[in-house]
Amino acid sequence: EAQQRGNLAITTDGSQTHNAITIKGGTMGAKVTLSNVNIETTSNAADSVSGSVELVIAGTNTNTLRSGPKHAGVEKADDNGTLTISGFGTLNAYGGESGAGIGGAWHKNASNIVIEGGTIEANGGNWGAGIGGGHGAAGQNITIRDGNVTAKPGGEAAGIGGGCRGD
């Protein structure tokens, strides 16, 4: 478990790992750059963020984040912080069953998500939004300013917004 203040870059050779990333931005914020990261977990979130976090998707690399059941691919805490995704690379985020691709876990709302660039493909697990809430949860205050964004929901959920039976 690495703990660091300030800007952090995570660069790999693209090989798959089962090690998850947890980013706690707090009120001061954190900036983390991902380059060629490939995470697949079976029981938790591949990347979980809380507080204010800027996730920079580097260069021409592809980053893949695939989470286990009841978790979002990039899981944002239901707090007042803002998750900002920027950069020029590619991010493929896959929620596990009931989780959003980017946003909330099972029965967890997600708000304050901003996408400012990159090629983003957010795939909700069954009943999870592509970008927004997990199953039974809302997704709100989601802004896309730039980039090439594809949001694919799981069954009966929104592409961008709430999960199945979410507001």
* Distance of alpha carbon 100 from alpha carbon 126, whole angstroms: 9
Average pLDDT over residues 35-55: 97
Cβ distance 70 to 99 under 8 Å? yes
Predicted TM-score (pTM) of the model is: 0.96
Q: What is the per-residue pLDDT across 110-164, written as a single tens digit (0 to 9) for each?
A: 999 999 999 999 999 999 999 999 999 999 999 999 999 999 999 899 999 999 9
| Residue 8 neighbours by CB distance under 10 Å | 16
84 DSSP β-pair partners: 54, 114
Q: What is the per-residue pLDDT across 29-44, written as a single tens digit (0 to 9) for each?
A: 999 999 999 999 999 9
The residues, any chain, with a CB within 8 Å of residue 53's CB and separated by 6 or more, are 23, 25, 29, 30, 31, 32, 81, 82, 83, 84
